[in-house]
A and B are shown apart, each in its own frame.
Chain A
Amino acid sequence: NAGVMQNPRHLVRRRGQEARLRCSPMKGHSHVYWYRQLPEEGLKFMVYLQKENIIDESGMPKERFSAEFPKEGPSILRIQQVVRGDSAAYFCASSPPEQGAYTGELFFGEGSRLTVL
């Protein structure tokens, strides 16, 4: 059973470009979470999604950031018009539906490291 798959592992963008990060949850998992980790800092919650629904986006910046988890395909975190401060590691995590919302263990991907030049 494959774990949480994130791609790309490393992404370099110039200021003003768009960054698109993908996350495929573990098989059978229907909850997806995105976290951001700035250098030498802890994890900051960004958004929690279920299929076709954003459940909690309280950690998402109001502008330039968006996330989706379509019925088919991976979850996508999109950052428009990137700035240097967006450089960070972005982690996706998933959990199975029987755990319910916000309960139990999170299974993390290896992260996507965004560098903005």
Chain B
Amino acid sequence: GDSVTQMEGPVTLSEEAFLTINCTYTATGYPSLFWYVQYPGEGLQLLLKATKADDKGSNKGFEATYRKETTSFHLEKGSVQVSDSAVYFCALENYGQNFVFGPGTRLSVLP
């Protein structure tokens, strides 16, 4: 079945550092890809998404590009802030099937 793999955390960075969280997927067909973020004590919120190959999703300074050739959707941000500390989930959704979430990557940004 479909699956999502993320880099293991936790990831600890200093403020203004560059962030990359790797995400790769296995799926049949042409899934949509998502990044969700979960702040402490809250539910998940959509951060960005891409629905077809070579699409780039972006929001709040975060970006991810749908790479079909490498089945990847890596999350990047050029300069992280303390307020970005959260758990980040990569997910895919294949038409007619459920959302599949990765295990999550915890990010801690230190001042």
Contact = CB atoms under 8 A, between A and B. Distances in A.
A105 B49 contact: yes
Interface stretch (A11-19, A39-47, A71-79): A39-47
Contacts of A117: none
A56 B1 CA distance: 15
B103 A102 contact: no
A109 interface: yes
Given A42-B103, A102-B93, A48 B98 contact: yes
Nearest to B99: A106
Size range of the interface on B? 20 to 34
Nearest to B90: A42
Contact of B43 (A42, A101, A105, A108): A108
A102 B97 contact: yes
A108 B45 contact: yes
A91 B104 CA distance: 15
Interface of A is mostly: loop
A100 B94 CA distance: 12
A42 B89 contact: yes
B96 interface: yes
Size range of the interface on A? 20 to 34
A45 B99 contact: yes
Given A45-B100, A59-B98, A91-B44, 11 more contacts: A33-B99, A42-B101, A43-B101, A45-B99, A102-B94, A102-B96, A102-B97, A102-B99, A106-B44, A106-B99, A111-B42
3 tightest A-B CB contacts, nearest first: A108-B43, A42-B103, A43-B101
27 contacts: A4-B43, A33-B98, A42-B103, A42-B104, A43-B44, A43-B104, A45-B98, A45-B100, A45-B101, A56-B98, A59-B98, A93-B43, A93-B44, A101-B96, A102-B93, A102-B94, A102-B96, A102-B98, A102-B99, A104-B32, A105-B34, A106-B44, A106-B99, A107-B46, A108-B44, A111-B42, A111-B43
Interface of B: 32, 34, 36, 41-46, 49, 89, 93-104
